[in-house]
């Protein structure tokens, strides 16, 4: 498998290479602001639950910054960080990865939204697929629908699967117009229009949407958002979009008043769109939080020649892991807080284990860590505002973190306050504060190990052949233990690992995905029809990008298709080739270990992605307190070994029940080729790395740390 193979939206990691078609035009260029040249200033912003991270790229320099997030007003931390970077905020060119939509779905803080649907299907979003996520939970409570029953309304119309049916008549349109006063009285702030089989013919939805828009409500048409069959997923996605529109639209509007240059928002798919587009289609940003880190990890893997890598991002609130076989994997069906979301998204696993994850006892007296997080406010107990012990407090008690080191000393922490919080929990477990801290770290590691197994072993991949690409503010403290538990022998930790996701946001390309369900047999006779659909989807995507200000000439077109054996209810996505049937058989065999070549193959959905060319990884990296480091292809090759520099300090760290004297090194002062033996600590502005006993490490010319298990 080639390491530079690009992956299509929804494409299986086992799919064959894509055949990208790049449109070439003489003198074609991107509109200023659509992509950054080597000399333009670009800021990537990644808003997390605990910190908001920034990466400023200008010419050959890269500057990193972290500021505490402001959950009550997420935009405030964005503006504050830009000012601290010395950026002219009104004229800034910003790419923004946001968790506003994610948190709104999790905390149910969006809406109220109304649903207008085909009469008799008002309860579809509540009935769902009747699938139980946990078969052994006898007390499972289904998540509440985003649209309450009082805000669901049915109209007499019907479109059949073949596109024929009953048009929306004047009587129903008058009924819809009369509905306006009732919607206002019930407090609806947006509406979703979802009719059966509208992916075949969206005229009825368009008529209904036009009538509702006269009421001044933001309206989501399901066939515009998801041009695919399966009514529950399409309805659920449209309702989620409508539910998020008032909140996300307001957030984007407020932020746009501060940033009047160019503001682009990262989508779940790893592409960016203008802020105004995301205000209209916020569901595309529902899973954007971790996408930036995976993009950066994949770019770094290519730079270092790593084909098989696992991205591991442990931040303050959660941990995200993603297996990369030379490219970023995608999915087109996700669930967030019990809500089905059918939009292209980076395929990853998330667990509620981060530096701020709260430790507690469950009703049975067992120690649990997460998913609840102390976040930025009140934060871990050591921050001085909270009193519940967290993973950060545990690492501080164990000596893995030390006061005066976080954010270069700018973030004050109180070890005594952390010890008191651990002591209160420890007394309930008959443990000392140190033993309680070790237990918290062990439980958090167990949670993260399950996520790593889910993306590797449970999907047929042997993690022993993969490299762990570790980033996030807390990831370096846990990487060696997690790698050892899975048999992984190599870890790479990039410079300024705590702000690495923001770098991925800055590197993300503008682009758009389009899809359409076709339900055709995979036969040579349908090839002309497929070409027509592909061209129509590409024209639609390119047109949308042109309206957003992107010159359509230097863009990349990618095609893929969802296929299945006739009679199945699930599909695999493969790149479009001249022989789709053969490509599907091969992908199916790699995924499931066998194929059914005597069975009829069905083409379910066609997909296209239209995007800018990928931005290159920066040629140098500069930490907030560091110096430039060349980052050139091939520099990961082993350098002539040299002795490690003198440590900045030596301190006691509790490891495996023993207090060891551990040297600490400032990463920006480590010369290329320097070799280390564990235990050791590596300090930098945004994160700390713990090299465990039995591990060795070395630094390359780009400042990356390469950790290797010693035999």
In tens, the pLDDT along 586-601 reads: 999 988 888 998 999 9
Report how far apart, in Å, the C-alpha atoms of 33 and of each of 62, 260, 617 are.
Answer: 18, 12, 18
Query: 57: which strand partners?
Result: 42, 62
CA angle 292, 277, 337 (to 5 degrees): 60
**pLDDT score of 87 more than 90:** no
Contact (Cβ atoms closer than 8 angstroms) between residue 608 and residue 227 = no
Distance of alpha carbon 237 from alpha carbon 226, whole angstroms: 8
Contact (Cβ atoms closer than 8 angstroms) between residue 710 and residue 696 = yes
Q: Residue 194 corresponds to which tokens in the numbers above?
A: 């979802």
Range(s) within the chain of domains with CATH label 3.30.1490? 21-29+511-612
pTM, to two decimals = 0.87
Q: Residue 24 corresponds to which tokens in the numbers above?
A: 């070439």
Helix axes 433-455, 475-486, angle to 10 degrees: 60
Strand residues in 413-554 grouped as ranges (E): 467-471, 490-493, 511-521
Q: Helix (H, G, I), strand (E, B), or coil: what is residue 42?
A: strand
Least confident of 87-91, 219-223, 404-408, 547-551: 547-551
Distance of alpha carbon 660 from alpha carbon 310, whole angstroms: 30
Per-residue confidence band for 638, with pLDDT thresholds at 50, 70 and 90: low
Distance of alpha carbon 466 from alpha carbon 482, whole angstroms: 13
Contact (Cβ atoms closer than 8 angstroms) between residue 211 and residue 116 = no
431 Cβ neighbours under 8 A, 6+ residues apart: 439
Contact (Cβ atoms closer than 8 angstroms) between residue 244 and residue 254 = no
Strand residues in 8-101 grouped as ranges (E): 21-22, 41-47, 51-58, 61-68, 93-97
Q: Is the peptide bond before 376 cis (omega within 30 degrees of 0)?
A: no
What is the phi-psi region of residue 384: left when phi exceeds 0, alpha when psi lies from -120 to 50, beta otherwise? left
What's the whole-number mean pLDDT along residues 89-106? 88
Distance of alpha carbon 398 from alpha carbon 81, whole angstroms: 31
Q: Give the residue from 611, 652, 218, 161 showing the smallest Cα distance to 397.
A: 652
Distance of alpha carbon 583 from alpha carbon 470, whole angstroms: 33
Report how far apart, in Å, the C-alpha atoms of 514 and of each of 288, 298, 542 are.
Answer: 18, 24, 10
Query: 581: which strand partners?
Result: none
Percent of the residues in the chain that have a pLDDT greater than 70, as a whole number: 91
Contact (Cβ atoms closer than 8 angstroms) between residue 479 and residue 452 = no
pLDDT computed for residue 574 by the predictor: 92
Contact (Cβ atoms closer than 8 angstroms) between residue 691 and residue 678 = yes
Q: What is the CATH number of domain 21-29+511-612?
A: 3.30.1490
Contact (Cβ atoms closer than 8 angstroms) between residue 32 and residue 603 = no
Render pLDDT for 203-219 as a digit per residue (tens, 0 to 9): 999 999 999 988 888 99
Q: Give the residue from 444, 434, 449, 520 showing the smallest Cα distance to 482.
A: 449
Render pLDDT for 290-302 as a digit per residue (tens, 0 to 9): 899 999 999 999 9
pLDDT computed for residue 695 by the predictor: 97
**pLDDT score of 37 more than 80:** no
Q: Residue 349 corresponds to which tokens in the numbers above?
A: 């696993």
User: What DSSP string runs through 522-563?
Assistant: --GGGHHHHHHHHHHHHHHHHHHHHHTT--SSSEEEEEEEEE
Whose tokens are 């939080």? That residue is 289
Render pLDDT for 58-70 as a digit per residue (tens, 0 to 9): 877 788 999 988 8
Whose tokens are 């649209």? That residue is 147
Distance of alpha carbon 560 from alpha carbon 558, whole angstroms: 7
- φ, ψ of residue 349 to 5 degrees: the values are -115, 140
Query: 696: which strand partners?
Result: 677, 708
Rounded-to-5 percentages of helix, strand, coil across the chain: 35, 25, 40
Contact (Cβ atoms closer than 8 angstroms) between residue 523 and residue 585 = no
**pLDDT score of 34 more than 50:** no
Query: 560: which strand partners?
Result: 575, 607
Least confident of 1-15, 245-259, 532-546, 580-594: 1-15
pLDDT computed for residue 548 by the predictor: 86
Which helix (H) or strand (E) segment is 309 a member of? Answer: strand 308-314
Distance of alpha carbon 386 from alpha carbon 214, whole angstroms: 48
523 Cβ neighbours under 8 A, 6+ residues apart: none
Distance of alpha carbon 225 from alpha carbon 247, whole angstroms: 18
Query: 58: which strand partners?
Result: 41, 61
Other Cβ atoms within 10 Å of 549 Cβ, number: 14
Give the chain's largest Cα–Cα span.
84
CA angle 421, 423, 425 (to 5 degrees): 75
144 Cβ neighbours under 8 A, 6+ residues apart: 108
- φ, ψ of residue 178 to 5 degrees: the values are -70, -25
More confident residue, 420 or 39: 420
Q: What is the 3-state secondary structure (H, E, C) of 2-26?
A: CCCCCCCCCCCCCCCCCCCEECCCC
Q: Give the residue from 374, 326, 636, 624 showing the smallest Cα distance to 502.
A: 624
Percent of the residues in the chain that have a pLDDT greater than 90, as a whole number: 63
In angstroms, the first-to-last Cα distance of the chain is: 28
159 Cβ neighbours under 8 A, 6+ residues apart: 165, 166, 195, 196, 197, 198, 200, 201, 204
Contact (Cβ atoms closer than 8 angstroms) between residue 118 and residue 158 = yes
* Numbers of helices and strands, H then E, in the chain: 16, 37
Distance of alpha carbon 529 from alpha carbon 606, whole angstroms: 11
CA angle 344, 346, 348 (to 5 degrees): 130
Least confident of 35-44, 351-360, 518-527, 542-551: 35-44
Q: Give the residue from 125, 93, 203, 126 showing the smallest Cα distance to 159.
A: 203
**pLDDT score of 32 more than 50:** no
Least confident of 110-114, 311-315, 628-632, 664-668: 628-632
**pLDDT score of 648 more than 80:** yes
What's the whole-number mean pLDDT along residues 149-177? 91
More confident residue, 618 or 11: 618
């Amino acid at each position: 498998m080639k390491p530079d193979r690009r992956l299509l939206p929804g494409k299986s990691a086992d799919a064959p290479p894509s055949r990208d078609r790049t449109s070439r035009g003489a003198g074609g260029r991107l509109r200023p602001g659509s992509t950054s040249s080597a000399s333009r200033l670009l800021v990537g912003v990644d808003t997390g639950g605990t910190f908001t991270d920034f990466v400023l790229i200008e010419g050959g320099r890269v500057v990193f910054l972290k500021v505490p997030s402001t959950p009550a007003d997420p935009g405030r931390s964005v503006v504050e960080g830009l000012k601290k970077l010395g950026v002219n905020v009104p004229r800034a060119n910003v790419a923004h990865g946001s968790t506003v939509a994610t948190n709104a779905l999790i905390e149910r803080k969006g809406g109220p939204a109304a649903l207008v649907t085909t009469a008799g299907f008002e309860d579809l979003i509540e009935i769902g697929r009747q699938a139980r996520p946990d078969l052994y939970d006898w007390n499972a409570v289904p998540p509440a629908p985003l649209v309450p029953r009082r805000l669901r309304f049915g109209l007499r119309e019907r479109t059949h699967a073949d596109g024929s049916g009953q048009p929306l008549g004047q009587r129903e349109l008058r009924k819809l117009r009369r509905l306006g006063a009732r919607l206002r009285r019930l407090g609806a702030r947006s509406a979703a229009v979802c009719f059966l089989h509208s992916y075949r013919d969206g005229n009825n939805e368009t008529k209904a949407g036009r009538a509702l828009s006269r009421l001044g409500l933001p309206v989501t048409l399901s066939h515009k958002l998801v041009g695919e069959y399966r009514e529950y997923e399409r309805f659920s996605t449209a309702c989620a979009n409508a539910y998020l529109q008032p909140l996300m639209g307001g957030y984007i509007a407020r932020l746009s008043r501060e940033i009047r240059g160019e503001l682009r928002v990262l989508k779940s798919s790893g592409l960016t769109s203008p802020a105004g587009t995301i205000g209209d289609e916020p569901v595309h940003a529902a899973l954007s939080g971790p996408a930036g880190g995976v993009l950066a990890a994949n770019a770094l893997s290519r730079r270092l020649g790593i084909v098989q890598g696992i991205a591991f991002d442990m931040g303050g609130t959660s941990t995200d892991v993603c297996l990369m076989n030379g490219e970023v994997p995608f999915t087109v069906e996700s669930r967030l807080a019990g809500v089905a979301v059918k939009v292209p998204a980076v395929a990853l696993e998330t667990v509620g284990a981060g530096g701020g994850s709260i430790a507690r006892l469950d009703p049975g007296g067992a120690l649990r860590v997460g998913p609840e997080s102390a976040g930025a406010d009140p934060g871990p107990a050591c921050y001085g505002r909270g009193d519940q012990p967290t993973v950060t407090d545990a690492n501080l008690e164990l000596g893995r973190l030390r006061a005066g080191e976080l954010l270069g000393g700018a973030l004050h922490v109180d070890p005594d306050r952390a010890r008191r919080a651990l002591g209160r929990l420890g007394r309930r477990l008959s443990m000392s504060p140190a033993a309680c801290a070790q237990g918290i770290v062990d439980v958090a590691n167990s949670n993260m190990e399950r996520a790593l197994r889910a993306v590797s072993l449970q999907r047929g991949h042997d993690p022993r052949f993969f490299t762990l690409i570790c980033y996030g503010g807390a990831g370096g403290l846990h990487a060696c233990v997690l790698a050892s538990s899975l048999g992984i022998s190599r870890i790479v930790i990039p410079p300024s690992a705590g702000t690495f996701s923001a770098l991925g946001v800055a590197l993300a390309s503008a682009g758009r995905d389009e899809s359409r369900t076709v339900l055709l047999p995979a036969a040579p006779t349908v090839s002309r029809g497929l070409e027509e659909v592909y061209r129509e989807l590409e024209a639609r995507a390119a047109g949308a990008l042109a309206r957003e200000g992107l010159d359509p000439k230097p863009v990349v077109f990618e095609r893929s298709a969802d296929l299945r054996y006739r009679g199945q209810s699930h599909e695999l996505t493969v790149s479009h080739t001249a022989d789709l049937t053969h490509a599907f058989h091969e992908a199916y065999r790699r995924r499931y270990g066998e194929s059914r070549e005597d069975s009829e193959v069905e083409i379910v959905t066609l997909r296209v992605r239209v995007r800018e060319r990928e931005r290159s990884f920066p040629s140098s990296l500069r930490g907030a307190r560091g110096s430039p480091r060349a980052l050139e292809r091939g520099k990961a090759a082993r350098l002539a070994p040299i002795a490690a520099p003198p440590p900045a300090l030596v301190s006691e760290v509790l490891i495996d029940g023993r207090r060891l004297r551990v040297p600490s090194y400032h990463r920006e002062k480590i010369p290329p080729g320097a070799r280390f033996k564990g235990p050791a600590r590596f300090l930098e502005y945004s994160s700390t790395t713990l090299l465990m006993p039995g591990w060795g490490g070395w630094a390359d010319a780009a400042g990356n740390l390469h950790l290797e298990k010693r035999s």
